Amino acid sequence: MIKPHGSDSLNPLYVQDDAKRAELVQEAEGLHSVVVCSAAAANAVMLGSGYFNPLTGYMNKADALSVAEKMTTTDGVFWPVPVLNLLENADGIEAGARIALRDPNVDGNPVIAIQTVEAVETFSDEEMASMTENVFRTQDMEHPGVLALNSVGKVAVSGPIEVLNFSYFETDFPGTFKTAYQIREEMAALGWKKVVAFQTRNPMHRAHEELCRMAYQATEADGILIHMLLGKLKPGDIPADVRDAAIRKMVDVYFEPNTVLVTGYGFDMLYAGPREAVLHAVFRQNTGCTHLIVGRDHAGVGSYYGPFDAQSIFRDDVPAGALEIQIFEADHTAWSKKLGKVIMMRDAPDHTKEDFILLSGTKVREMLGNGEAPPPEFSRPEVAEILIAHYSK
């Protein structure tokens, strides 16, 4: 395993001491409180989990703008996207205060963290536009990440936080949600030193399965971390519980025992393409992984990004030495009718499109909705069965 990003040891912001956490819960009852947006709550979970090491809390305006423009904070910490607590207004909140942050995603809005406020600042319209453009390469409000960032307010409340719980992720996804430090512990117990990570917000079809094997073999890894996003997605995406069941079934049936860890993390999808790919690399480094698979249109949506922009950003924009994790660059993978197996398209210059089994997402959803399994060369039958049951509802 490799060391965390930005420090020699992982420094998660979750308060692990039971007595100390109980004191903070009691303190929170007397503090000014605010229900934060879903993105800010997810940021708290990621900070608490150690995924956002070495950050200590929410960024101020200067850091957020610097990160958006140059991928570094004002004091030189490499970071690819702003980590913010944005509010519509911050009435009653002043620098130096301690405030309770309430979770918008859990009934009753329990306190998820306590923040020590360092600054309360408002982004101008021009600053919001610049930050949006730099991170998402567009200001189109049809882009789900652009809409999410620009619909929660422009007042940034910055400062360190102490995290009291992991929102709904521990209760809704027991056994799947894992912190970065828990993943490190599990990989250490397995004796894994070289680990390749696979990011997913979707169920895994044959191409994804084989891509993991290709990377595992090419890097001579000890294991594979299949790491799924468990937070908010855009409408139409497969819910996390269905995805979890489908992926676990595939791993149980088709992978060798003790070669794969199936885990998830508590974050809302940004759909930020290249910038989100870099973020994925940062927090996979914090789990101890040595490699991250970055494939075609990684973390993309629609046609906002080129098919391999999420790979080229590591070559063109990430400074040498900024990250210790290595990128495994993957091409589009599909079943070759000629060779009778899944391959990367770049490895078959003698193939035409007709030589592959290629199905669009729309076609696959249509088939599943009609109770029809995609061909076994595209999707494992056990996985298709779970997805058909979902679509039948």
Catalytic (active-site) positions: 201-202
Q: Which helix (H) or strand (E) holds 143?
A: none
Q: What is the DSSP string of 255-302?
A: S-TTSEEEEEE-------THHHHHHHHHHHHHHT-SEEEE-TTTT--T
Residues 6+ apart with CB under 8 A from 237: 201, 202, 269
Rounded distance, CA 45 to CA 113, Å?
9
Check residue 72 and report its DSSP letter: B
Residues 6+ apart with CB under 8 A from 60: 118, 119, 121, 156, 158
CA distances from residue 198 to 35, 73, 261, 315 in whole angstroms, order as listed: 33, 27, 10, 20
Q: Determine contact, residues 306/313, Cβ cutoff 8 Å.
A: no
Whether omega before 54 lies within 30 degrees of 0, making that bond cis, reads yes
Rounded distance, CA 342 to CA 334, Å?
5
What is the Cα Rg of the chain in Å? Answer: 21
Rounded distance, CA 183 to CA 14, Å?
15
Q: Is 27 exposed, middle or buried (0-12, 13-18, 19+ CB in 10 A)?
A: middle
Residues 6+ apart with CB under 8 A from 308: 296, 329
Rounded distance, CA 382 to CA 230, Å?
22
Residue 383, phi then psi, degrees to nearest 5? -70, -45
Tokens standing for residue 301:
């949506």
In the block, residue with structure tokens 């521990």: 170
Neighbours of 273 (CB within 10 A): 26
